[in-house]
Amino acid sequence: MQTQMQMQMLLPSSFHHRNTFFSFHRRPYLWITTTTTATSYRLRVSNGVSNSSISSQSTLKEEYNKEEQQKLQQPRTRAYPFHEIEPRWQRYWEENRTFRTPDEVDTSKPKFYILDMFPYPSGAGLHVGHPLGYTATDILARYKRMKGFNVLHPMGWDAFGLPAEQYAIETGTHPKITTARNIERFRSQLKSLGFSYDWDREISTTEPEYYKWTQWIFLQLFKKGLAYQAEVPVNWCPALGTVLANEEVVDGVSERGGYPVIRKPMRQWILKITAYADRLLEDLDDLDWPESIKEMQRNWIGRSEGAEMEFSVLDQDGHERDIKLTVYTTRPDTIFGATYLVVAPEHHLLSSLVSNAQRECVEEYREIASRKSDLERTELQKEKTGVFSGSYARNPANGEAIPIWVADYVLGSYGTGAIMAVPAHDSRDYEFALKYDIPVSWVVNPEDKCYNDSEGSYSGEGIIINSSNLASGLNINGLRSKEAASKVIDWAESTGHGIRKVNYKLRDWLFARQRYWGEPFPVIFLDDTGEIVPLLESDLPLTLPELDDFTPTGTGEPPLAKAVSWVRTIDPISGKSATRETSTMPQWAGSCWYYLRFMDPKNSDALVDKTKEKYWSPVDVYVGGAEHSVLHLLYARFWHKVLYDIGVVSTKEPFQCLINQGLILGEVEYTAYRDLEGKLISADSTDVLGELQQERVPEDKVMKSGDYFVLKDNPNIRLIARAHKMSKSRGNVINPDDVVAEYGADSLRLYEMFMGPLRDSKTWSTSGIEGVHRFLGRTWRLVVGSPLPDGSFRDGTVATDDEPTLEQLRTLNKCIEKVTDEIEGMRFNTGISAMMEFINAAYKWDKHPKSIIEAFVLLLSPYAPHMAEELWFRLGHLNSLVYEGFPEANPEYLKESTIVLPVQINGKTRGTIKVEEGCSEEEAFRLASLDEKLSKYLVEKTIKKRIYVPGRILNVILDKQNVKVGSR
């Protein structure tokens, strides 16, 4: 019967049926009357035995009978019939739109907006690392619904971007085709895991109805002067004929093809995020985010207070020229220690600074530096390189002539693109000075000791020394660093040598890609003047033109330039000929504001309705990977603040609480090593394992020995045991589809939460998922009963109508309290442990009252929703449990239930017994009579009377004639 029903559940929609799913008869099964069709279809049987094409009813019967015979020959391994339960309830949820959040909700109820960082739908589909955060948010969403909240729990797709375009270039397949296919795969995988998303609110950043509002936001940025064009250096690959993003450049060459990449100035769209630097910094304090993430954003913004100082450039005779080199420094107190200046290779004054003798060397150095990324140039561990410009400048504090060097560890995009180098008190400057034999001048002493210059540079604060000059009128000797810095700035401002300055590491956001698969910019350029004209808002969306050729043009122009009829246009206001922008927005654009569209996804008149935004904002909990901790979150916060300023949103910040889930690593890999002769080498016998031949060892050949892993056959050979990040290249990716087929979605959900704290990285283990699968099997058998001889299970449950005992109520309420606290604290692993303890206790009971079992099923439901729904139905409920109230612990059953009661015989304490609070006199006396120590005083004695003070004492008065002499 099970296989028949399973088969019926999987019949395709081309078969007509009499009854729709869930008529709520005695058995919650789908009964189907089929009509033969000539259409060929595929029958999928969940145990994977067959996936054959079937074209007639007789063939179907033969195939079915064959599979029945195969199944009878196979050992039954399923702990419970998840293969029937899960598809059934997933279909029920979908058909009944169980998780739909109505457009108009009762705003008198509290709201809970929980959001996953929406995924990029790649062709590879999900691996088991993806559902970690999704399961956590789903548990919270289900819990909050049961607690009476209006819950917003949506899902969508960040679907523009480079991978789809690269695939299009390689295969000729349009990006929208591959994107749609990938989205379909992701959606089906997510649904197979039972996540309670409101699929009515699904969005994709590639849909014109969505990116209409991305373009609208860009127009608001443009109108506020926050979007502008400028010529900036970009990564240009001559061989590929295109601009590359930073992540596409590795060690100065293109990731694809390994071609040289240079830095080339090009006109680009830029967003003025620096205008919001202070607000982005200050508002971090009020957010419930991990402190490490907030610190990363603070460092990225990099606010620093200091001074801009001017150094006069000298000619060959030592006279001041009419060129001044401005540097930014956060340590003006160290100005007397500046023994050279450094300018970035791209500094705008460099050509004016270079002497004829050094020009060829400098140009060669600039060419080399142009091939490096900013990250490579500023890496602290890399060896510093530079070249002398041939010119000098005067230090305004002491009048000394100091050399001007060109070095790539200074970036043209930070500060003024030039620094005063103080090698005694900066590690980078110190390394550079030692390498090029530049003087080192000590001007700061630590307050608590004399610094030994053999220890290297000292970058801390202290007492200023060697910092006085009569000619300049500046003397800061003996001052502490902060006081000295302030005095130097005052001196610089009064003498015209500098000004007080606040600076930021944050740069304006390069907001253009020379790609096809992205949002078009809603602007045109008048042909006669080049004036930028924004499109009318009523003309949005500006949709992408259809292209068959997505390859780079080779000229630096984006692929959109090939759509000539689209590019050439007319300004609707002036009637003048115009040209469209052929760059597209970066992938970040659509993900900057998607959380707002989920609040009101079908609105064609506004980005989001003000009333809905005011109710749902901000996002209460936002869950995603730490890799997005800076850029995505910073960009989204920037856009949100702009929208706040123009009255679109009501909150200053988009995401109130942020949680980063850890990685799920692949299973532990065991590696042995062999020397050149092929002999096994123990991993602890050499430091040069990388030079030896590696060999993967199967887990069944490995055993643990102390803190290490060794070969079973040769325990003297120690192995390297390590878990790696899941990747196709390592071959350690675990497909959730395979896990669901073997263990069920509830087991996968439960295991991912049970592996450890949500925020920690964890290692996948197949034996671990088998453990939680057994727990679910035990839960099923506790409620439904043991399997019948044929392996199937009876209808209904074994729960009784008995009143629960005090012990059962206490066990249940302790579980309720623990599970509730752990869900609220997002400590899901310990919540599962509490449910496991409950099941262990419940197996010792003779009877299982329905009221106790029902409460536990509700506790389990956020974690294992398919099983919980099935058990709830079998317990006699005709509606889904999704909106049932979550159990609340009764404090009366959480108190310590036993007390120690002193027992006296004729007024003398002879021992103690443990009794329940509120214990009756009869029960207390019975327990005393059974106590080994007290019973000898009471057995076969005549009791004159008993004095009982509940919770305090039991005093038994014996008839004196029954008390033997010497009984004491």
Tens digit of each residue's pLDDT (9 = 90 or more) over 337-382: 999 999 999 999 999 999 999 999 999 999 888 877 676 777 666 7
pLDDT of residue 55: 32
- What's the half-sphere exposure (Cβ side, CA atoms, 13 Å) at 322? 0
Nearest to 644 by CA among 587, 585, 596, 601: 596
Q: Which helix (H) or strand (E) element contains residue 415?
A: none
Average pLDDT, the chain: 87
Tens digits of per-residue pLDDT, 489-533?
999 999 999 999 999 989 899 899 888 999 999 999 999 999 999
In this predicted structure, the answer to whether residue 727 has a pLDDT above a threshold of 90 is no
Residue 342 is which amino acid?
A: V
For residues 811 and 843, give the distance between their C-alpha atoms in angstroms, rounded to a whole number: 12
Give the residue-averaged pLDDT of 836-843.
96
Tens digits of per-residue pLDDT, 564-578?
999 999 999 999 999
Give yes or no for a contact between 601 and 201, defined as CB atoms under 8 angstroms apart: yes
Alpha-carbon distances, residue 232 vs 1, 328, 404, 508, 516 (angstroms): 70, 21, 25, 11, 21
Give yes or no for a contact between 328 and 501, defined as CB atoms under 8 angstroms apart: yes
Which residues share a beta bridge with 388? 405
As a whole-number percent, the residues of the chain with pLDDT over 90 amount to 64
Instruction: Pick the range with the lowest mean pLDDT from 243-247, 555-559, 627-631.
Output: 243-247
- Residue that is written with structure tokens 């003297």 in the block: 716
For residues 435 and 404, give the distance between their C-alpha atoms in angstroms, rounded to a whole number: 15
Give the residue-averaged pLDDT of 792-818.
94
Give yes or no for a contact between 516 and 165, defined as CB atoms under 8 angstroms apart: yes
Tokens of 517: 């698969």
What does DSSP assign to residue 965?
A: T
Q: Residue 94: pLDDT band by 50, 70, 90 thresholds?
A: very high
Q: Residue 607: pLDDT band by 50, 70, 90 thresholds?
A: very high
In this predicted structure, the answer to whether residue 88 has a pLDDT above a threshold of 50 is yes
Tell me the backbone φ, ψ of residue 76, rounded to 5 degrees. -85, 120
In this predicted structure, the answer to whether residue 965 has a pLDDT above a threshold of 90 is no
In this predicted structure, the answer to whether residue 71 has a pLDDT above a threshold of 60 is no
DSSP 649-701: -S-S-SBSBEEE---EEPPPEEEEEE-TTS-EE-TTS-S-GGGSEEEEE-GGG
pLDDT of residue 14: 31
Domains in the chain (CATH in brackets) are 109-206+591-660 (3.40.50.620), 215-299+508-587 (3.40.50.620), 303-503 (3.90.740.10), 664-725 (no CATH), 738-893 (1.10.730.10), 898-958 (3.10.20.590)
pLDDT of residue 77: 52
Rounding to the nearest 10 degrees, give the CA dihedral for residues 216, 221, 225, 227: -100
Tokens of 397: 């504090």
Q: Where are the beta strands (DSSP E) in 412-490?
A: 418-421, 444-445, 463-464, 468-469, 474-475
As a whole-number percent, the residues of the chain with pLDDT over 70 amount to 88
In this predicted structure, the answer to whether residue 470 has a pLDDT above a threshold of 70 is yes
- Residue that is written with structure tokens 């439960």 in the block: 750
Higher pLDDT residue, 66 or 610?
610
What HEC string does 136-179 produce? HHHHHHHHHHHCCCEEECCCEECCCCHHHHHHHHHHCCCHHHHH
Give the residue-averaged pLDDT of 469-498.
96
Give the residue-averaged pLDDT of 576-605.
96
Instruction: Pick the range with the lowest mean pLDDT from 34-43, 74-83, 136-145, 157-166.
Output: 34-43
Tens digits of per-residue pLDDT, 899-921?
899 999 999 999 999 888 788 89
pLDDT of residue 453: 60
At 268 the three-state DSSP class reads: strand
Alpha-carbon distances, residue 651 vs 220, 247, 419, 891 (angstroms): 18, 33, 40, 38
For residues 228 and 234, give the distance between their C-alpha atoms in angstroms, rounded to a whole number: 16
At 371 the three-state DSSP class reads: coil
Q: Which helix (H) or strand (E) element contains residue 297?
A: helix 291-301
Alpha-carbon distances, residue 715 vs 5, 573, 702 (angstroms): 52, 83, 9
Higher pLDDT residue, 941 or 107?
107
Nearest to 141 by CA among 688, 549, 493, 620: 620
For residues 550 and 170, give the distance between their C-alpha atoms in angstroms, rounded to a whole number: 9
- Residue that is written with structure tokens 């561990």 in the block: 381
For residues 609 and 402, give the distance between their C-alpha atoms in angstroms, rounded to a whole number: 62
pLDDT of residue 794: 87
Nearest to 249 by CA among 372, 410, 379, 383: 372
- Residue that is written with structure tokens 């996948």 in the block: 764
Higher pLDDT residue, 731 or 54?
731
pTM to 2 decimal places: 0.80
pLDDT of residue 380: 60
pLDDT of residue 407: 95
Q: Residue 2: pLDDT band by 50, 70, 90 thresholds?
A: very low
pLDDT of residue 902: 94
Q: Residue 245: pLDDT band by 50, 70, 90 thresholds?
A: low
pLDDT of residue 581: 97
pLDDT of residue 5: 35
Higher pLDDT residue, 564 or 2?
564
Q: Residue 689: pLDDT band by 50, 70, 90 thresholds?
A: low
pLDDT of residue 411: 86
Alpha-carbon distances, residue 642 vs 206, 273, 509, 835 (angstroms): 23, 10, 14, 47
pLDDT of residue 261: 85
For residues 623 and 630, give the distance between their C-alpha atoms in angstroms, rounded to a whole number: 14
Tens digits of per-residue pLDDT, 126-160?
888 889 999 999 999 999 999 999 999 999 999 99
